[in-house]
Amino acid sequence: MRSKDAPRSRPYWHVDAKWITGLLLTVLLSLTLFVYGLVQITSEKPAVDTLTMTMALTSSRHGLDDKTEIEEVRKRLGAGSGGTFEPIPGLRLSVTEEDLANLSPRELRLSLFRQIAEPFYREGTEGLAELVEEPELEKGLAGGAGALSFFTLEMHQRLRGTFLFLGIISLLLFIPLIFFSHRFGRLASPGCVLILASLPGAILFNLISAAPQPAAKPPVEEADMSGMLGYLAANLVPPLAEIIARTYTIALVLGLVLAISSVFGSLIWRLSRRRSSTHKPVDQPSVENTHSIIDG
C-alpha cells in the first residue's frame, strides 16, 4: 500500500513517448535549421553580394584584380572628360570618372555588377528590363539567370514561409518532449535534441567556411565547364557556408548550455537531499525510507 505522500513514479510509457518525440524532433529540427540557413543567405545583403560576385567572376576573364580591362576603359573614355559613362554597350550601367580614378579594379567591377544584382534580386528577370536597351541582350540575360534565381526576394519569401511552418511544428513538439521528461531531464532532453540536430551541420559548414583561399584567376579559356564551376564554388560557397554555420553553432551552444545545466542541477539537487538526510535524527527514519518500507 502506497502512502498519499509517497512520490509518484512516472508511467512507463512516458519514457517511450519521450524517445519517440525526441527522435522526431531531432529530424525535424535538423531540417528547420537548414531551411533557416537558406533564409539567411537569401536575405538581401548576402544574396546581392553573391549575385554581384557571380557576375563579376564570370565576366572577368583574367580575375577581379586584373587592371588590363580597366585601363582600356580609361583610355577609351579619356581623362578629364567628366560625367558618367556606360562601359557595357546595351546596358544602362553607370560609372563615373571619379570611380575610375579612386576604386581598385575589384571594387570597380563589384560596384558595376551590383547595379544589375540589386534589381534582379528584388524583381527577378523583370528587374533587368529597365537596364537593358536591346531585346536580344535582355533575352540572353534572362536565359543565363536560371541558377541565380535562387538568390531573389521571391525565393527568400518562399523559404521564410517554409521555415515558419517547420519552426512552429518544432516548437510544438518541444512541449510533449518536456512533459514526458522527468525532473532535470526537462532541460537535458531539449539540450540533447539541439545537440544532435545541430552538431553535424555545425561541423560541416564550419569546415567549408574555413576552406583555403581560392585561386585569384579563373581557369584558362580552354578549360571545361567543371573548371569554371569549381572556380565559382571556391569563391562563393565559403562565405555562404559561414552564414549557415552561425545558425548551427548557436543551436549547438544552446543545447550544450541546457545539457550542462541539467547535469549541474541534478548534482546540486542530489547533494542537497543527501545533506538533509544526514542531519535527521538517527532514530527517526526519513520520509523516503518510510515510503519504501510501506511499499514493501
Per-residue pLDDT tens digits for 194-215: 999 999 999 999 999 987 766 6
- The pLDDT value recorded for residue 162 is 97
Q: Do residues 22 and 193 lie in contact, with contact meaning Cβ atoms separated by under 8 Å? A: yes
- The pLDDT value recorded for residue 142 is 57
CA pair distance 195, 191, nearest whole angstrom:
6
Measure the CA angle with vertex 12, ends 9 and 14; round to 5°. Answer: 95
Per-residue b/e over 200-228, b at no fewer than 16 CB within 10 Å? ebbeebbeebeeeebeeebeeeeeeeeee
What pTM did the predictor assign? 0.79
φ, ψ for residue 181, nearest 5 deg: -80, 170
Q: Which residues of the chain have pLDDT under 70?
A: 1-13, 73-90, 133-146, 213-226, 279-296
Tens-place pLDDT, residues 27-46: 999 999 999 999 999 999 99
